[in-house]
Amino acid sequence: MKRLALATAALAAVALVLPAPGAEPPKAPTSALRVGLVFDVGGRGDKSFNDSAYEGVARAERERGVTVELLEPTGAEDREAALRLFGARGFDLVIGVGFIFSTDINVVAGDFPATKFACVDYAPPEDGVIPANVVGLGFREEEGSFLVGAVAGLVTATGHVGFVGGMDIPLIHRFEAGYRAGVRSVCPRCQVHAAYAGTTPEAFRDPAKGKAVAVSQISAGADVLYHASGTTGHGVFEAAHDMGVRAIGVDSDQYDEKPGTVLTSMIKRVDVAVFDTIAALETGVFESGLRSFGIAEDGVGYVSEGPHAAGVPDGVKTEVAELRRRIAAGEIAVPRE
């Protein structure tokens, strides 16, 4: 697997040799499917969203023999350039990790119709028309957040729990909505304290702000805090550790970020969505449009087994397992807002 560092100047130079929009890009002399992955804010090593996407392409490389290359933009101007670079090189599939890629992918997909594009947490255009070579990968984050909300509501000793969001946008509101609903389902008396780190993408990589928000919520009585904030969550974990309360991770198992402090993590299986998309293209059944992954599709869940879930009492696991079953069966409709 190759990882290419991006620089704006370098990408600008590449842009000078890109083929004209709509032209058939050159194909490399290989029969293997070629997949390009462009990371979101926070990049590889965030122990969260981006790392989960990486696991998906790494699995496809191991199990299906595809060729994978990675790009990590340094700024907003690099995102479109990175997508174009892969399109110009004739990649079969280009994946943008994060809703922030949605507009860029719509534009670039039109210029490279022979390449398929996928966007994690894709936001469809206002007219609802999705390009024929684009698949939007969405998640019912509220369902996984409901489960960890139930955990928080069952283990809190104070009746106060917290939610720390990254960027104040509808996507992160779904995490909060599901969490609130999960808490209420098992602890109607509990109070949920919620706050966001900011209104720009930088809110997903501001640990200092995450710590400040967490300290405020803990001071108000919260003894379990759930974050949906990228690397900003590292500050949440630090505050929880320093003040002797528990925290809940997001997107992937974040126990190792603060062992003993991280109670569990909401799992958003970006790896499953990415792998399934690659496998579908390889077998010739790629379909454009929107795909949604929730509990029923094993797209979301929480860490409930093994040593990283040892802090969750068995009785709590049993009660949450029943809630999970009811959501999968359609007996519980989890709110998205």
Task: Tell me the pLDDT of the chain averaged across its residues.
Answer: 90
**Residues 6 or more apart from 31 whose CB is under 8 A from it?**
none
152 & 125 share domain: no
Number of domains into which the chain is organized: 2
Can you tell me the distance from the alpha carbon of 102 to that of 119, in angstroms, rounded to the nearest whole number?
A: 7
The domain in which residue 116 lies consists of: 2-139+270-297
103 & 160 share domain: no
- Edge-first strand order for the sheet with 262-268 is 191-198, 160-167, 224-228, 246-251, 262-268, 300-302
Please say whether the beta carbons of 197 and 232 come within 8 A. yes
187 & 286 share domain: no
187 & 311 share domain: yes
**Higher pLDDT, residue 20 or 121:** 121
Least confident of 11-15, 81-85, 224-228: 11-15
Please say whether the beta carbons of 262 and 48 come within 8 A. no
161 & 132 share domain: no
Question: Is 228 within a domain?
Answer: yes
160 & 99 share domain: no
CATH number at residue 197: 3.40.50.2300
Question: Is 286 within a domain?
Answer: yes
Q: What are 161's two structure tokens? A: 């729990």
C-alpha angle 104-107-111 in degrees, rounded to nearest 5:
130
149 & 244 share domain: yes
**pLDDT reported for residue 4:** 55
Q: What digits encode the pLDDT tens for the residues 267-308?
A: 999 999 999 999 999 999 999 999 999 999 889 999 999 999
pTM exceeding 0.75: yes
Q: What digits encode the pLDDT tens for the residues 93-132?
A: 999 998 889 999 999 999 999 999 999 999 999 888 999 9
Question: Is 335 within a domain?
Answer: no
Q: Residue 47 pLDDT more than 50?
A: yes
